[in-house]
Amino acid sequence: MRLSTYCGRFAPSPTGLLHFGSLVTAVASYLEARSHNGKWLVRIEDLDSTRVVPDSSRKILHALELFGMYWDDEVIYQSQRSATYQNVLTKLRKLGVIYPCICSRREINDSALIGIEGPVYPGNCRNGLPISHAGRHSALRVRTENSLVEFMDGLQGNVRQCVESEIGDFVLRRADGIFTYQLAVVVDDTWQGITHIVRGADLLHSTPRQIYLQKLLGYAIPAYLHLPVVVNEHGEKLSKQTRAAPIDLTNPLPQLVATLHVLGQNPPHELIGGDMTSFWQWALANWQAEKIPRKSHFFLKET
Protein backbone atom coordinates (compact mmCIF):
# COMPACT_ATOMS: atom_id res chain seq x y z
CA MET A 1 0.00 0.00 0.00
CA ARG A 2 1.38 3.39 -1.02
CA LEU A 3 1.97 6.10 1.54
CA SER A 4 -0.63 8.84 1.15
CA THR A 5 1.07 11.86 -0.39
CA TYR A 6 -0.49 15.30 -0.67
CA CYS A 7 0.80 18.37 -2.43
CA GLY A 8 0.69 22.01 -1.38
CA ARG A 9 0.87 23.98 -4.64
CA PHE A 10 1.74 27.65 -4.75
CA ALA A 11 1.99 30.09 -7.64
CA PRO A 12 4.30 33.03 -6.88
CA SER A 13 2.51 36.40 -6.81
CA PRO A 14 4.05 39.86 -7.33
CA THR A 15 4.12 40.35 -3.55
CA GLY A 16 5.33 36.84 -2.79
CA LEU A 17 2.68 36.64 -0.06
CA LEU A 18 -0.28 34.31 0.35
CA HIS A 19 -3.84 35.60 0.63
CA PHE A 20 -6.54 34.10 2.84
CA GLY A 21 -7.91 31.82 0.12
CA SER A 22 -4.47 30.29 -0.43
CA LEU A 23 -4.11 29.80 3.32
CA VAL A 24 -7.43 27.93 3.53
CA THR A 25 -6.32 25.50 0.82
CA ALA A 26 -2.88 25.05 2.38
CA VAL A 27 -4.33 24.33 5.85
CA ALA A 28 -6.87 21.82 4.49
CA SER A 29 -4.30 19.89 2.45
CA TYR A 30 -1.84 19.98 5.35
CA LEU A 31 -4.38 18.62 7.83
CA GLU A 32 -5.57 15.94 5.41
CA ALA A 33 -1.98 14.78 4.94
CA ARG A 34 -0.98 14.82 8.59
CA SER A 35 -4.23 13.23 9.83
CA HIS A 36 -3.61 10.28 7.49
CA ASN A 37 0.08 9.98 8.46
CA GLY A 38 0.93 11.00 4.92
CA LYS A 39 3.52 13.27 3.36
CA TRP A 40 2.85 16.94 2.58
CA LEU A 41 4.94 18.15 -0.33
CA VAL A 42 5.35 21.72 -1.57
CA ARG A 43 5.53 22.62 -5.24
CA ILE A 44 6.13 26.09 -6.66
CA GLU A 45 4.17 26.46 -9.89
CA ASP A 46 6.31 29.08 -11.65
CA LEU A 47 6.03 27.92 -15.25
CA ASP A 48 5.80 31.41 -16.75
CA SER A 49 9.15 32.80 -15.65
CA THR A 50 8.40 36.16 -17.30
CA ARG A 51 5.75 36.83 -14.65
CA VAL A 52 7.60 35.61 -11.57
CA VAL A 53 8.92 38.33 -9.27
CA PRO A 54 12.37 37.57 -7.78
CA ASP A 55 12.28 36.30 -4.18
CA SER A 56 8.52 35.63 -4.24
CA SER A 57 8.96 31.88 -3.79
CA ARG A 58 11.19 32.35 -0.76
CA LYS A 59 8.56 34.61 0.80
CA ILE A 60 5.87 31.94 0.28
CA LEU A 61 7.99 29.26 1.97
CA HIS A 62 8.82 31.63 4.82
CA ALA A 63 5.11 32.36 5.34
CA LEU A 64 4.29 28.64 5.52
CA GLU A 65 6.93 28.17 8.20
CA LEU A 66 5.64 31.14 10.20
CA PHE A 67 2.19 29.56 10.14
CA GLY A 68 3.56 26.24 11.39
CA MET A 69 3.33 24.24 8.16
CA TYR A 70 6.46 22.24 7.40
CA TRP A 71 6.83 20.16 4.26
CA ASP A 72 8.40 16.78 3.60
CA ASP A 73 11.14 16.26 0.99
CA GLU A 74 12.59 18.96 -1.24
CA VAL A 75 10.56 21.78 -2.77
CA ILE A 76 9.90 21.29 -6.49
CA TYR A 77 10.05 24.25 -8.89
CA GLN A 78 8.25 23.73 -12.19
CA SER A 79 10.50 26.26 -13.92
CA GLN A 80 13.35 23.76 -13.49
CA ARG A 81 11.53 20.82 -15.07
CA SER A 82 11.19 21.81 -18.73
CA ALA A 83 13.25 18.85 -19.97
CA THR A 84 10.88 16.43 -18.24
CA TYR A 85 7.81 18.08 -19.74
CA GLN A 86 9.41 17.99 -23.19
CA ASN A 87 10.09 14.26 -22.82
CA VAL A 88 6.42 13.68 -22.07
CA LEU A 89 5.42 15.71 -25.14
CA THR A 90 7.73 13.52 -27.20
CA LYS A 91 5.94 10.45 -25.85
CA LEU A 92 2.55 11.94 -26.73
CA ARG A 93 3.79 12.83 -30.22
CA LYS A 94 4.83 9.21 -30.77
CA LEU A 95 1.34 8.18 -29.70
CA GLY A 96 -0.05 10.47 -32.40
CA VAL A 97 -2.28 12.42 -30.03
CA ILE A 98 -0.84 15.96 -30.24
CA TYR A 99 -0.62 18.40 -33.13
CA PRO A 100 0.58 21.95 -33.84
CA CYS A 101 -1.92 24.80 -33.80
CA ILE A 102 -1.47 28.37 -35.09
CA CYS A 103 -4.95 29.67 -34.27
CA SER A 104 -5.13 33.01 -32.50
CA ARG A 105 -7.61 33.65 -29.71
CA ARG A 106 -9.60 35.87 -32.05
CA GLU A 107 -9.83 33.15 -34.70
CA ILE A 108 -11.03 30.67 -32.09
CA ASN A 109 -13.55 33.10 -30.62
CA ASP A 110 -14.98 33.83 -34.08
CA SER A 111 -15.75 30.19 -34.87
CA ALA A 112 -16.21 28.46 -31.51
CA LEU A 113 -19.13 27.43 -29.39
CA ILE A 114 -19.10 28.46 -25.74
CA GLY A 115 -18.33 25.71 -23.23
CA ILE A 116 -17.99 25.57 -19.46
CA GLU A 117 -14.78 27.63 -19.47
CA GLY A 118 -15.22 29.81 -22.54
CA PRO A 119 -14.81 29.05 -26.26
CA VAL A 120 -14.48 25.37 -27.19
CA TYR A 121 -11.61 24.87 -29.63
CA PRO A 122 -13.28 23.98 -32.98
CA GLY A 123 -10.43 21.79 -34.27
CA ASN A 124 -9.23 24.11 -37.04
CA CYS A 125 -5.70 22.65 -37.10
CA ARG A 126 -6.54 19.02 -36.34
CA ASN A 127 -5.87 17.87 -39.90
CA GLY A 128 -2.53 19.64 -40.30
CA LEU A 129 -1.17 23.10 -41.10
CA PRO A 130 -1.02 24.61 -44.60
CA ILE A 131 2.42 24.41 -46.22
CA SER A 132 2.52 28.21 -46.26
CA HIS A 133 2.59 28.16 -42.43
CA ALA A 134 5.56 25.80 -42.11
CA GLY A 135 8.09 27.03 -39.57
CA ARG A 136 5.66 29.40 -37.90
CA HIS A 137 5.63 29.25 -34.10
CA SER A 138 2.78 27.05 -33.00
CA ALA A 139 1.13 25.77 -29.87
CA LEU A 140 0.72 22.05 -29.27
CA ARG A 141 -2.75 20.68 -28.59
CA VAL A 142 -3.89 17.21 -27.53
CA ARG A 143 -6.67 15.42 -29.39
CA THR A 144 -9.68 14.72 -27.19
CA GLU A 145 -11.67 12.08 -29.09
CA ASN A 146 -13.59 9.61 -26.90
CA SER A 147 -12.95 11.86 -23.94
CA LEU A 148 -15.85 11.28 -21.56
CA VAL A 149 -14.40 11.50 -18.04
CA GLU A 150 -16.28 10.73 -14.83
CA PHE A 151 -14.93 10.75 -11.28
CA MET A 152 -16.18 11.04 -7.70
CA ASP A 153 -14.84 14.13 -5.96
CA GLY A 154 -14.34 13.81 -2.21
CA LEU A 155 -16.48 16.87 -1.53
CA GLN A 156 -18.27 18.01 -4.70
CA GLY A 157 -19.63 14.55 -5.56
CA ASN A 158 -19.92 12.97 -8.99
CA VAL A 159 -18.34 14.96 -11.84
CA ARG A 160 -18.93 14.06 -15.48
CA GLN A 161 -17.46 15.89 -18.46
CA CYS A 162 -16.99 15.26 -22.17
CA VAL A 163 -13.71 17.07 -22.70
CA GLU A 164 -14.06 17.20 -26.49
CA SER A 165 -17.46 18.92 -26.57
CA GLU A 166 -17.16 20.99 -23.36
CA ILE A 167 -13.50 22.08 -23.57
CA GLY A 168 -12.08 20.97 -26.91
CA ASP A 169 -8.53 19.98 -27.80
CA PHE A 170 -6.51 21.85 -25.18
CA VAL A 171 -3.02 23.33 -25.26
CA LEU A 172 -0.06 21.53 -23.65
CA ARG A 173 2.65 23.91 -24.82
CA ARG A 174 2.04 27.50 -25.81
CA ALA A 175 3.37 29.06 -29.00
CA ASP A 176 5.99 30.92 -26.94
CA GLY A 177 7.35 27.57 -25.71
CA ILE A 178 5.93 27.72 -22.18
CA PHE A 179 4.40 24.46 -20.95
CA THR A 180 0.85 24.73 -19.64
CA TYR A 181 -0.50 24.00 -16.20
CA GLN A 182 -2.53 21.03 -17.45
CA LEU A 183 0.55 19.18 -18.66
CA ALA A 184 2.94 20.16 -15.88
CA VAL A 185 0.60 19.32 -13.02
CA VAL A 186 -0.12 15.83 -14.39
CA VAL A 187 3.56 15.07 -14.92
CA ASP A 188 4.59 16.39 -11.52
CA ASP A 189 1.80 14.71 -9.58
CA THR A 190 2.91 11.37 -10.99
CA TRP A 191 6.64 12.05 -10.57
CA GLN A 192 6.13 13.06 -6.92
CA GLY A 193 3.87 10.08 -6.22
CA ILE A 194 0.89 12.24 -5.27
CA THR A 195 -2.04 10.06 -4.18
CA HIS A 196 -4.46 12.75 -2.95
CA ILE A 197 -5.12 16.24 -4.30
CA VAL A 198 -6.84 18.89 -2.17
CA ARG A 199 -7.43 22.19 -3.95
CA GLY A 200 -10.04 24.85 -4.72
CA ALA A 201 -13.28 24.17 -6.57
CA ASP A 202 -12.25 26.74 -9.19
CA LEU A 203 -10.09 23.92 -10.60
CA LEU A 204 -12.87 21.33 -10.57
CA HIS A 205 -13.49 21.64 -14.33
CA SER A 206 -9.75 21.24 -15.01
CA THR A 207 -9.66 17.81 -13.40
CA PRO A 208 -11.25 15.88 -16.30
CA ARG A 209 -8.55 17.24 -18.62
CA GLN A 210 -5.91 16.02 -16.22
CA ILE A 211 -7.52 12.60 -15.85
CA TYR A 212 -7.73 12.39 -19.64
CA LEU A 213 -3.97 13.02 -19.86
CA GLN A 214 -3.28 10.56 -17.04
CA LYS A 215 -5.11 7.86 -18.96
CA LEU A 216 -3.26 8.66 -22.20
CA LEU A 217 0.07 8.40 -20.41
CA GLY A 218 -0.80 5.35 -18.33
CA TYR A 219 -0.49 7.24 -15.04
CA ALA A 220 -2.29 6.41 -11.79
CA ILE A 221 -5.25 8.70 -11.03
CA PRO A 222 -5.12 10.41 -7.61
CA ALA A 223 -8.11 10.97 -5.34
CA TYR A 224 -9.51 14.50 -5.62
CA LEU A 225 -11.16 16.82 -3.10
CA HIS A 226 -12.15 20.30 -4.25
CA LEU A 227 -12.72 22.86 -1.49
CA PRO A 228 -15.12 25.82 -1.54
CA VAL A 229 -13.29 28.80 -3.01
CA VAL A 230 -13.05 31.85 -0.77
CA VAL A 231 -14.51 34.86 -2.64
CA ASN A 232 -14.91 38.54 -1.83
CA GLU A 233 -18.23 40.35 -1.37
CA HIS A 234 -18.53 40.69 -5.16
CA GLY A 235 -18.25 36.92 -5.64
CA GLU A 236 -14.72 37.17 -7.06
CA LYS A 237 -12.05 34.64 -6.17
CA LEU A 238 -9.34 36.12 -3.95
CA SER A 239 -6.32 36.74 -6.15
CA LYS A 240 -3.83 39.39 -7.20
CA GLN A 241 -6.28 40.41 -9.96
CA THR A 242 -8.99 41.16 -7.38
CA ARG A 243 -6.46 42.88 -5.10
CA ALA A 244 -6.85 40.38 -2.29
CA ALA A 245 -5.05 41.46 0.86
CA PRO A 246 -2.07 39.30 1.83
CA ILE A 247 -2.13 37.38 5.08
CA ASP A 248 -0.64 39.12 8.12
CA LEU A 249 2.62 37.39 8.94
CA THR A 250 2.82 39.10 12.35
CA ASN A 251 -0.40 37.57 13.70
CA PRO A 252 -0.93 34.00 12.42
CA LEU A 253 -3.30 32.50 15.00
CA PRO A 254 -6.50 34.51 14.30
CA GLN A 255 -6.11 33.77 10.59
CA LEU A 256 -5.47 30.08 11.18
CA VAL A 257 -8.55 29.84 13.40
CA ALA A 258 -10.55 31.64 10.69
CA THR A 259 -9.50 28.99 8.14
CA LEU A 260 -10.92 26.27 10.39
CA HIS A 261 -14.24 28.13 10.58
CA VAL A 262 -14.35 28.30 6.77
CA LEU A 263 -13.61 24.57 6.68
CA GLY A 264 -16.48 23.78 9.07
CA GLN A 265 -14.31 22.61 11.98
CA ASN A 266 -15.75 24.83 14.80
CA PRO A 267 -12.52 25.57 16.71
CA PRO A 268 -12.81 27.00 20.24
CA HIS A 269 -12.20 30.74 20.49
CA GLU A 270 -9.49 30.13 23.09
CA LEU A 271 -7.14 28.92 20.34
CA ILE A 272 -6.61 32.54 19.26
CA GLY A 273 -4.99 33.35 22.60
CA GLY A 274 -2.83 30.22 22.67
CA ASP A 275 0.29 29.32 20.75
CA MET A 276 1.09 27.66 17.43
CA THR A 277 1.71 24.25 18.97
CA SER A 278 -1.65 24.23 20.73
CA PHE A 279 -3.44 25.28 17.54
CA TRP A 280 -2.01 22.49 15.43
CA GLN A 281 -2.52 19.90 18.17
CA TRP A 282 -6.21 20.79 18.37
CA ALA A 283 -6.60 21.03 14.59
CA LEU A 284 -5.06 17.61 13.98
CA ALA A 285 -6.92 15.92 16.81
CA ASN A 286 -10.28 17.29 15.66
CA TRP A 287 -9.92 17.44 11.87
CA GLN A 288 -12.92 15.98 10.05
CA ALA A 289 -12.93 16.51 6.30
CA GLU A 290 -16.57 15.43 6.12
CA LYS A 291 -17.52 18.65 7.92
CA ILE A 292 -16.23 20.87 5.11
CA PRO A 293 -19.24 22.67 3.56
CA ARG A 294 -20.36 20.98 0.37
CA LYS A 295 -20.52 24.08 -1.79
CA SER A 296 -18.44 25.74 -4.48
CA HIS A 297 -17.58 28.99 -2.69
CA PHE A 298 -17.44 30.75 0.64
CA PHE A 299 -17.86 34.50 1.11
CA LEU A 300 -14.98 36.07 3.01
CA LYS A 301 -17.40 38.32 4.90
CA GLU A 302 -18.79 35.23 6.64
CA THR A 303 -15.49 34.63 8.51
**Domain ranges in the chain?**
5-81+184-302, 83-181
* Same topology between domain 5-81+184-302 and domain 83-181: yes
- Say what the pLDDT of residue 232 is: 64
CATH no. for 5-81+184-302: 3.40.50.620
Give strand pairing partners of 151. Answer: 159
Return the number of other C-beta atoms located less than 10 Å from residue 89's C-beta.
18
* Residues 6+ positions from 165 with CB-CB distance below 8 Å: 115, 120
Whether residue 148 contacts residue 129, with contact meaning beta carbons closer than 8 Å, is answered with: no
CATH code given to domain 83-181: 3.40.50.620
Whole-number mean pLDDT of the chain? 87
Supply the Cα-derived Rg of the chain in whole angstroms. Answer: 20
Q: How far is C-alpha 253 from the geometric centre of its chain's CA atoms?
A: 26
By percentage, how much of the chain surpasses pLDDT 70? 88
**Residues 293-303: pLDDT tens digits?**
987 777 665 43
What share of the chain has pLDDT > 90, as a percent?
64
pLDDT in tens, 206-259: 999 999 999 999 999 999 999 998 876 555 554 555 445 678 899 999 999 999
Residue range 65-78, pLDDT digits in tens: 999 999 999 999 99
Question: How do residues 170-190 score in pLDDT, each as one tens digit?
Answer: 999 999 999 999 999 999 999
